[in-house]
Structure 1
């Protein structure tokens, strides 16, 4: 009995050493799997990501859809550029019309000042006969008609001249008639300048909107040609996708003038 017990006690240290060696090997293996790059957790995440990614056919279909969308946006952008160019040309023409109307107004205003000084002087007396009144009437009609063909009088004003209403009196002295005519022309040109300013302002706003729309479509067309980046963070378990927002830039002041609307 003592001999058997002695034999067993002799084998116990060897068995303990074997168990300790096995435990050390297992611990080392687990540590290597956990700590090495691309460990078990990353491998699981990679498999989940691969399972969530679209297949080859789905990717091809998405590429075709993206190319078709990019082509459509590119066509829309080119049309928007053409529209912006047309609106810019209309705005420049309206601006030229404003400048021309203002120059014409200044010229007539100078004539009114000159005639006002002349009318303030004593007018020469003439014999008021039917022939004199007929000459004065012909002078009024002729000068008014000339002003109409120069687009200085409107059709309504010319009608008032021949109807002798709204202050048009053919019996006045020719100097007084010309002064009254130039004042009517001045009022007409002032209204024309105001109307031209309104058209120029509307054309400028339309050109600004058209340029902004063309720029947005160009950016959209450029972005549509770029492949959509694949987000890895959204496919990892327990990790929320990172939201990336563009910074909000302050609005730049809009300058008025020919350089305000850029040309394409």
Structure 2
């Protein structure tokens, strides 16, 4: 019993020294954490970041996948840009054709107006006197029917208007042929003017469609160009923007869309693609 107790007393100082050493190390660590906590934070943070950071093989695989996705997206955008350019070219051709139609309708209106002025001047003169007989009235009616039928065959009046003339709805076949021709020419002139106005409306609609198609083609072309650039250039561009600071956005002036005369000569031309 005395021997065992002596052995325990002999080991107590050594254990006390060990515990004191552990307490001293713990106190030093706690003091270091209190005085300079960033040391341990940076060490543990770097270790955690290294553990969470993907390996070089994973980074290479992700880079290849991004490259394939970028190439596929760039190809799709290029196809869309080519289709948009073809659509814009087709819309521009339709607009040019509508302009020609407006010009043709205006020339036809000018010719019809000249005929009306000429016949109006002739009708202002004293008309030749003819016998007011049933045969004379029948001749005048036949002349009106022949003139109206010929005008309808040339497309100058509609079928409904020809029906009104033949059935004498609003038309007096007993009038002198000069007066009847003047009335018929005025009807033709009004029809030509309505066609010219309709052609102008179609031309304006074609111009708007061509302008929208051209804007869409330009936007897709810029997007296709941006999609083919590498990511490094984009990062460099972003870094340059960050260094130079924000730039004030300026609104571009809108081109005037003036119309002069019978056609849209003052309107901004749609660019060709």
Q: Residue 220 of structure 1 aligns with which residue?
A: 223
Question: TM-score, normalising length from structure 2?
Answer: 0.70
Q: Which residue of 1 aligns with 2:212?
A: 209
**Structure-1 residue corresponding to 2:197:** 194
The unaligned stretches of length 5 or more in structure 2 are 1-45, 258-263
Match of 1:59 in 2: 63
Q: Indicate which of 138, 159, 163 corresponds to 2:142.
A: 138
Question: What CA deviation, in whole Å up to 9, does each residue of 1:14-58 have, x standing for no partner?
Answer: xxxxxxxxxxxxxxxxxxxxxxxxxxxxxx9xx99xx58981111
SS of the counterpart of 1:253? Answer: coil
**Partner residue of 2:161?**
157
| C-alpha distance in structure 2 between counterparts of 1:234 and 1:132, whole Å | 92
Paired residues of 1:74 and 1:221 also in contact (CA < 8 A):
yes
TM-score (norm 1): 0.72
How big is the shift at 1:246? 8.3
2:256 and 2:268 in contact (8 A); partners too:
no
Structure 1 segment 60-99 matched on structure 2, within 5 A: 60-99=64-103
Give structure 1 stretches of 5+ with no counterpart.
1-43, 236-240
2:129: which partner in 1?
125
Deviating more after overlay: 147-156 vs 107-116: 147-156
Cα 1:232–1:180 shift into 2, 3 Å: closer
CA distance in 1, matches of 2:174, 2:129: 13
Cα distance in 2, alignment partners of residues 176 and 263 from structure 1: 51
How many residue pairs match? The answer is 211
Matching residue within 162, 172, 176 for 1:173: 176
CA-CA distance at 1:247 after TM superposition = 4.2
Q: CA RMSD in A?
A: 2.9
Question: 1:174-210, CA deviations, whole angstroms, 9 ceiling, x for partnerless residues?
Answer: 0000000001111111111111111100000000000
Shift of 1:234: 9.7
**Matched-pair contact (CA < 8 Å) for 1:254–1:260:** no
Closer, same or farther: CA 233–227 of 1 in aligned 2, 3 Å:
closer
Spell out, residue by residue over 1:206-236, the C-alpha distance to the aligned partner (whole angstroms, 9 max, x if none).
000000001111111111111123648999x
